[in-house]
Amino acid sequence: MQIETVNPATGKIIARYDAESSEDISRKVRLGREEYAAWKKVDLGERADLMRRLGRVMRKNREDYARTVTEEMGKPVRQSLAEIEKCAWVCDYYAEHAEVFLRDQIVPTEFRKSFVSFEPLGVVASIMPWNFPFWQVMRFAVPALTAGNVGVLKHSSVCLGSALKLSQAFQDAGFPENVFQVVIGDYRVGEALVQADIDAVSVTGSLNTGRRVAELASVGLKKFVLELGGSDPFIVLEDADLNQTAHMATQSRLLNNGQSCIAAKRFIVLRSVAEKFTQLFMENTEAEVVGDPFDPRTTVGPLVRDNQRQALAKQVEDARAKGGKVLVGGRPVDREGFFYEPTIVSNVSHDMNIVREEVFGPAAPIIVVENEEQAVREANNSEFGLGASIWTNNIERGVKLARQIESGLVSVNEMVRSDPRLPFGGVKKSGIGRELSEFGIREFVNIKSVVVKDIQSRLLVE
C-alpha cells in the first residue's frame, strides 16, 4: 500500500511512501526495546547534552524543516519557522531542568530513609497529528526520551516528510539509532503499534482516535496520555481593551489557518460591548491575507485537505440555515488548493454545529451574553475543556473567573499557547494526562516509592 502526501495550496502530490507491515512494526518495537536496555542506563546528564545538540540541529535546519511543514500542511511559512524554534526551546528547557524534575524526592517517615524515584517505563509509542508536524512530536518525545524511555512515532499520513526529517534530526544530534524510530502507515499501522510490545502511548488527535487508542491500550493495561482537541471559549468582558482584544481574537482564531486544538473557537461577548467588538473583529479579519503560504505577506493559508474544507463549509451552511448571520467570508476561495475565507458568524444558537462541535478551520461564531455569570456558564457548556481566554482590564476579576472555567489552561489577556514551562492538557473530552513541564516528564515514568529500615534497630528491639 502506498500513501501520498499532497500540497494543500496546490492539490498536487508531493511524494509517495510505502506503508509498513505488522512485521515491520514488531521489528522496530523489538529494536527499541533492545536499545532501551542500554539507553535507560545512560547518565541523565549525557541525555541532556544530546537534547541540547538536538536543539542546535533544529535551529541549524529551521528553514529546511519549515519548508517541509508548509508544503505538507499549508501553514504560512513564518509560522512554520516559529514552530521549529519552539521545538529547539523545548530541547533546551528539558536539558536544563530534567535533573531537578527527576531527582529523588526524600519523604520524612519513621524509617531510616524513604524516597520517591522516577524511572523510565520502556518503549513509548506516539500517534501524532498533522497540524503542528514537528512541535506535537517534540513536546512528547523530548521529555519522554530525556527520562530514559525510547520512542516509536506513527505520524499522520499528511506529513510523512516531516516524520522522516524528525527521525534524521535525532540521528544528526547523535542519539543511538533506535532511541527514536518512525513507522509509516495509516490508522491500521497506528492500531498495530498500540497493540505491539510497547509500554505506553501518547496521542494527540481527534476524539474518535483517542477513544480507539484508549480502548486498545486498555486491553494490555498500557499507560496512555490523550490530547483530543477543544472548543476554546474567548470571553470578552465589558472592561476589556476592545482594540487589542479584537486583534488577538483574530490571531487566536486564524493561527495555523484556524487548525489548532487551542485556537479560540467560541467568542463569548457581553452585550454592552458586543456591537463594538464585532465591528473591530470584522475589520481585523477582513485585513487578513489569504494566499500562498510561502509568500511572507500571507497570514492565512489553505486547509489541510479538501474534506476538511468541506466539513467547515457544512458547519457554516448549517449555521446559515438555522438563522446564523454570516458577517464576513463564508465561502471557499475560488483558486487552486483547499482555501476557505476567514469567516465570522453572529446570531448563533446551541443547535448549530458551529457552536456544538469543534471547528477546525477559519470560522468564528459570536455568542452574546448578558453578564459574566452567563459567560462562564456558556464557556463551560461544552463537552471539551482544553483552553480558554478571558479579556478584561481587571486582573483580579479575570483570575476569579479563570478559576470557574472548566479547562486545562486559562489565559487572562493572552491567547492560549502551549509552553514547555507549564503543563498542557485538558479535562472532559479534551483528554487525559498532561504534557510539558515537570508534570509531562513524569507521565511516562514509574513513580517508585522506596522505604529503607535499619535492620540493627529491629534486632535490638527483638
- Please state the separation of Cα 238 from the chain's center in Å: 31
Q: Is 288 a catalytic residue?
A: no
87, 261, 341, 406: the catalytic one is: 261
Q: Quickly list H helices, 5-130.
A: 22-39, 44-60, 62-73, 77-101
CB-neighbour burial class of residue 115 (10 A; exposed 0-12, middle 13-18, buried 19+):
middle
Burial 265-287 (b: 16+ CB within 10 A, else e): bbbbbbeebbeebbebbbebbee
CA-wise closest residue to 216 among 181, 189, 186, 178: 189
Q: Which single residue is written with the C-alpha cell 478571558?
A: 390
Name the residue type at position 133.
P
β-pairing verdict for 445-452 and 223-227: unpaired
Asked if residue 362 lies in contact with residue 253, where contact means CB atoms within 8 angstroms, the answer is yes
Three-state SS string over 239-301 comes to CCCHHHHHHHHHHHHHHHHHCCCCCEEEEEEEHHHHHHHHHHHHHHHHCCCECCCCCCCCCEC
Q: In angstroms, rounded to a whole number, what is the distance separating the alpha carbons of residues 257 and 83?
A: 14
Asked if residue 39 lies in contact with residue 56, where contact means CB atoms within 8 angstroms, the answer is no
Q: In angstroms, rounded to a whole number, what is the distance separating the alpha carbons of residues 432 and 185?
A: 25
35, 227, 372, 435: the catalytic one is: 227
Q: Is 87 a catalytic residue?
A: no
Q: In angstroms, rounded to a whole number, what is the distance separating the alpha carbons of residues 93 and 41?
A: 22
Catalytic positions, written as ranges: 227, 261
